């Protein structure tokens, strides 16, 4: 390992999937796919209008079929295969592009479009179909499925595992995120307080750029393969 690195944590956000044609959250008009976030990505919004929310996630789940992993996803999958140290890819994204590129050492802290959570039995099931027509839960058959997505005000998944990885990291890399949403936006401070080097790869300066030792501006499809090549001592 030429880079002398033994433990890397990578955080990815919507920007890494932008070149795959998946919209990021921070559209200019502040709307997200023509919706207010509080109407489609909160438990309150789901309680107020479940059909609106189910349609919103059905549309995004279906759109995955037309998206392909881009060079940034493939570069992180190469890092996963070839880096002999510890690696954890923490994605805020709910798409499956990291997996489809071949990444394994990863987790979805905000859930996944291709997973269903049953409000009756609380079991999760792999899911790739619409939910608007209230299909039966694969486990208990109740018509009580919701998107297995962490909405605003809900606790992100696997936080203990993430903080344990940050405590051990000697490098924390943030890719394609605006640093606007917590707790993910605070990971850079956790990492740097615990001795890790910190690197940001992003199209523009983020809300957290000043916390990073280094911030490289550009498209993930260009910056991530270059960075992985350097880490692997190519
Ligand atoms: C929590 C799933 C506590 C949804 C997401 C009041 C009430 C309740 C909570 C709060 C509150 N006030 C504050 C909070 C905390 C809140 C929060 O941070 N709010 C913000 C708005 C201030 N956080 C939460 O609610 C979290 N939970 O705090 O729980 C708790 C404690 C105890 C018990 C229970 C609960 C949960 C937040 C998770 C919400 N769900 N996603 C879905 O996807 O449908 S968040 C969603 O937005 C994303 O997952 C991501 O995390 C976040 C930010 O998006 P980004 O990924 O950064 O994307 P964005 O568009 O913003 O930026 C893209 C970047 O990429 C840009 O910088 C752009 O320049 C760059 N880019 C673009 N193209 C490219 C590129 N870079 C490189 N290459 C390119 N080609």
Is the shortest distance between the CB of 14 and ligand 1 below 6 Å?
yes
Question: Strands 171-175 and 197-202: what pairing?
Answer: parallel
Question: Six-digit token pair at 84?
Answer: 């002999």
Average pLDDT over residues 114-142: 98
Instruction: State the average pLDDT over residues 30-47.
Output: 84
Side by side, the strands of the sheet bearing 124-126 are 124-126, 111-118, 145-149
Write the residue with the smallest CA distance to atom 57 of ligand 1.
Answer: 177
**Sign of torsion over alpha carbons 10, 96, 147, 117:** negative
| d(CA 180, ligand 1 centre) in Å | 6
Reading the block at residue 125, the tokens are 């099931």
Q: Whose CA is nearest to atom 72 of ligand 1?
A: 15
> What is the residue with the minimal CA distance to atom 31 of ligand 1?
155
Answering whether pTM is above 0.85, one says: yes
The catalytic residue positions are 110
Q: Half-sphere exposure of 115 toward its Cβ, with a 13 Å CA cutoff?
A: 16
Q: Return d(Cα 188, Cα 213) in angstroms, integer.
A: 10
For the cut 70, the answer to whether the pLDDT of residue 186 exceeds it is yes
- 2 C-alpha to center of ligand 1: Å? 34
The pair of structure tokens assigned to 180 is 């606007």
**Ligand 1 atom closest to the CA of 14, numbered from 1:** 56
Confidence bin at 137 (pLDDT 50/70/90): very high
Task: Answer whether residue 233 shows pLDDT above 50.
Answer: yes
Residues 124, 117 contacting (CB under 8 angstroms): yes
pLDDT of residue 157 exceeding 50: yes
């Amino acid at each position: 390992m030429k880079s002398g690195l033994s433990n890397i944590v990578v955080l990815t956000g919507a920007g890494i999937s932008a070149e795959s044609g998946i919209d990021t959250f921070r559209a200019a008009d502040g709307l997200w796919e023509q919706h207010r976030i509080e109407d489609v990505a909160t438990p309150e919004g789901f309680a107020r209008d479940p059909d609106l929310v189910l349609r919103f996630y059905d549309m995004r789940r279906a759109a995955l079929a037309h998206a392909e992993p881009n060079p940034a996803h493939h570069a992180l999958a190469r890092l996963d295969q070839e880096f002999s140290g510890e690696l954890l890819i923490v994605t805020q994204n709910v798409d499956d592009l990291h997996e489809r590129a071949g990444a394994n050492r990863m987790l979805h802290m905000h859930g996944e479009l291709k997973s269903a959570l049953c409000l009756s039995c609380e079991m999760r099931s792999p899911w790739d179909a619409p939910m608007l027509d209230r299909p039966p839960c694969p486990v208990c058959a109740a018509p009580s499925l919701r998107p297995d997505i962490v909405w605003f005000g809900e606790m992100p998944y696997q936080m203990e595992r993430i903080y344990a990885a940050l405590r051990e990291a000697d490098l924390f890399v943030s890719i394609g995120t605006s640093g606007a949403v917590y707790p993910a936006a605070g990971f850079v401070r956790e990492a740097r307080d615990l001795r890790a080097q910190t690197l940001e790869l992003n199209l523009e300066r983020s809300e957290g750029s000043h916390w990073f030792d280094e911030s490289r501006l550009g498209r993930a499809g260009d910056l991530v393969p270059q960075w992985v090549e350097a880490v692997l001592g190519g």
